């Protein structure tokens, strides 16, 4: 009987991972669609300047919002731990603090939109024909900031509450409405780039409205547990900003590495820039899948850490790593057999495809080398071990630049890929080494 119960428990844990991961994967895949939809619509307006304007605007907002991704990540960790403790008053406080911080940041972005735009345009340097269109697109889309950042907070909270289906439904709705609104404004009302921008703004606020509706529908019984006076407790606010500050620094390191990867590639010539850009799309494809499991790791690791259940925490981490190995092997084989065909879908430039064949083998080890970094990030975010995660990426980033500048004079483009693989591998290793101190030792054995 005990064996049957144990097997049933293991099966439930594995199903729990999939239950949380699949909707998150679907949500992740929709993320790049917002910019792609806008590009597709303006791409048929008969003027390439519109394409450049949307590309610039999308780049600016991707950079801005990526920096504030801590609103989702930090919120999911705190919420999952409170959920694991069955402290639903605390879950409401987590949501209230995150929403308050997100709204404050969004108001600041709107008030500072002019200097932010000027600074971004200074670095990007758009042409005289593209600049006014890009500015028009930016100045409209900035008004979506409150909806976008509040959705970050709500998505993180839903995930922490072990609910990944609601964020998936919201993401799908936003993309469908984005298409409908943009097409309506452009083709029915005769607008150009401003119609595309307003379509995206309305889609974001529609998504926020649905999120609030789902919050009220599914969690209304928790509202009376919220104590507004506790939202501003200094000790808890400092903890909130400490964890999110470390996640913010981690994100800056990620931005530094990926920006440098593109910058270094551009200095190697247009062809190698194009090749590395295409090869990185294979990495991004893998990352969308692994991030889905990383989000599941946030929810489950946070829940069992909050419940101080060492046995289920360790078992969940073991199961997550098994999934990571299996998926990495699948993607490695996929890229080995069909990597060139995938690249051919992305471009028909024969020279670029010919050169890419000489370097595509660098992508093959990426899944196996990088999967643990994704999963450990999720585990550390879920357990609020953000300082340890920050320290790991600090070391990995330093190694990335050291390896590149040491090897580049001798190996050229190969040095960039060796540095990138070192960055991924070291993050996973360092966090695994810290797991005992940061996770297991903080849960007393008797509680498991």
Per run of 10 residues, the mean pLDDT along the chain (length 448 residues) is 46 71 81 64 69 77 84 89 90 92 94 92 78 89 95 94 92 89 88 89 96 94 83 76 87 88 78 79 85 91 91 92 94 89 75 82 92 94 91 96 93 91 95 90 62
Q: Helix or strand or coil: residue 277?
A: helix
pLDDT at 33: 62
pLDDT at 447: 43
pLDDT at 407: 93
Instruction: Give the whole-angstrom CA distance, residue 301 versus residue 73.
Output: 13
How far separated are the first and last CA of the chain, in Å rounded?
A: 21
pLDDT at 388: 92
Long-range contacts of 417-424 (CB under 8 A, 24+ apart): 417/359, 417/362, 420/257, 420/261, 421/362, 421/365, 421/366, 421/369, 421/370, 422/396, 423/257, 423/396, 423/397, 423/399, 424/366, 424/369, 424/370, 424/373, 424/396
Dihedrals phi, psi of 87, to nearest 5 degrees:
-100, 85
Dihedrals phi, psi of 268, to nearest 5 degrees:
-90, 0
pLDDT at 2: 42
**Buried residues in 311-325 as b, exposed as e (16+ CB within 10 A):** ebbbbbbebbbebbe
Instruction: Give the whole-angstrom CA distance, residue 173 versus residue 206.
Output: 8
CB 123, CB 46: distance < 8 Å: no
User: 117: burial class by Cβ within 10 Å (0-12, 13-18, 19+)?
Assistant: middle
Positive or negative, the CA dihedral 245, 248, 252, 253 is: positive
pLDDT at 3: 45
CB 302, CB 382: distance < 8 Å: yes
pLDDT at 35: 60
CA 120 from centre of chain: 22
Instruction: Give the whole-angstrom CA distance, residue 175 versus residue 154.
Output: 17
Alpha helices in 357-385 (DSSP H): 366-382
pLDDT at 448: 44
List CB contacts of 146: < 8 A, sequence separation 6 or more: 102, 103, 106, 107, 110
pLDDT at 318: 93
pLDDT at 48: 66
Residue 376's closest CA among 385, 368, 367?
Answer: 385
pLDDT at 132: 87
């Amino acid at each position: 009987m005990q064996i049957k119960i144990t097997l049933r428990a293991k099966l439930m844990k594995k199903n729990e991972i999939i239950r949380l991961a699949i909707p998150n994967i679907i949500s992740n895949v929709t993320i790049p669609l917002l910019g792609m939809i806008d590009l597709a619509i303006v791409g048929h307006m008969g003027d390439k300047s519109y394409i450049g304007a949307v590309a610039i605007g999308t780049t600016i907002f991707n950079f801005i919002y990526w920096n504030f991704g801590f609103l989702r990540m930090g919120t999911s960790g705190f919420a999952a731990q409170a959920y694991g403790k069955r402290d639903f008053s605390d879950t409401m406080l987590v949501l209230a603090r995150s929403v308050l911080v997100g709204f404050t940041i969004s108001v600041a972005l709107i008030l500072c939109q002019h200097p932010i735009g000027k600074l971004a345009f200074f670095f990007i340097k758009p042409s005289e024909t593209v600049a006014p269109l890009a500015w028009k697109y930016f100045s409209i889309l900035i008004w979506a900031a409150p909806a976008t950042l509040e959705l970050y907070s709500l998505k993180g909270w839903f995930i922490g509450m072990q609910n990944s289906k609601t964020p998936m439904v919201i993401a799908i709705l936003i993309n469908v409405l984005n298409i409908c609104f943009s097409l309506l404004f452009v083709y029915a009302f005769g607008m150009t780039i401003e119609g595309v921008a307003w379509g995206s703004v309305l889609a974001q606020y529609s998504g926020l409205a649905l999120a609030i509706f789902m919050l009220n529908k599914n969690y209304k019984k928790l509202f009376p547990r919220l104590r507004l006076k506790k939202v501003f407790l200094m000790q808890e606010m400092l903890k909130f900003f400490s964890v999110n500050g470390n996640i913010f620094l981690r994100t800056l390191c990620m931005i530094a590495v990926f920006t440098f990867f593109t910058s270094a590639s551009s200095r190697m010539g247009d062809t190698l820039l194009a090749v590395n850009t295409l090869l990185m799309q294979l990495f991004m494809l893998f990352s969308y899948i692994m991030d889905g499991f990383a989000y599941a790791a946030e929810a489950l690791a946070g829940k069992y850490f909050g419940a101080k259940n060492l046995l289920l925490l360790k078992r969940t981490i073991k199961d997550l790593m098994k999934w990571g190995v299996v998926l990495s092997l699948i993607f490695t084989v996929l890229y080995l057999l069909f990597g060139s065909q995938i690249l051919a879908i992305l471009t028909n430039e024969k020279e670029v495809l010919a050169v890419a064949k000489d370097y595509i083998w660098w992508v093959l080890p990426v899944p196996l080398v990088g999967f643990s970094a994704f999963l450990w990030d999720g585990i550390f975010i879920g357990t609020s071990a953000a300082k340890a995660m920050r320290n790991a990426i600090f070391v990995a980033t330093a190694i990335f630049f050291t390896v590149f500048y040491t090897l580049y004079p001798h190996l050229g483009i190969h040095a960039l890929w060796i540095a990138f693989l070192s960055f991924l591998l070291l993050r996973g290793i360092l966090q695994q080494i810290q797991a005992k101190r940061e996770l297991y030792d903080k849960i007393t054995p008797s509680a498991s």
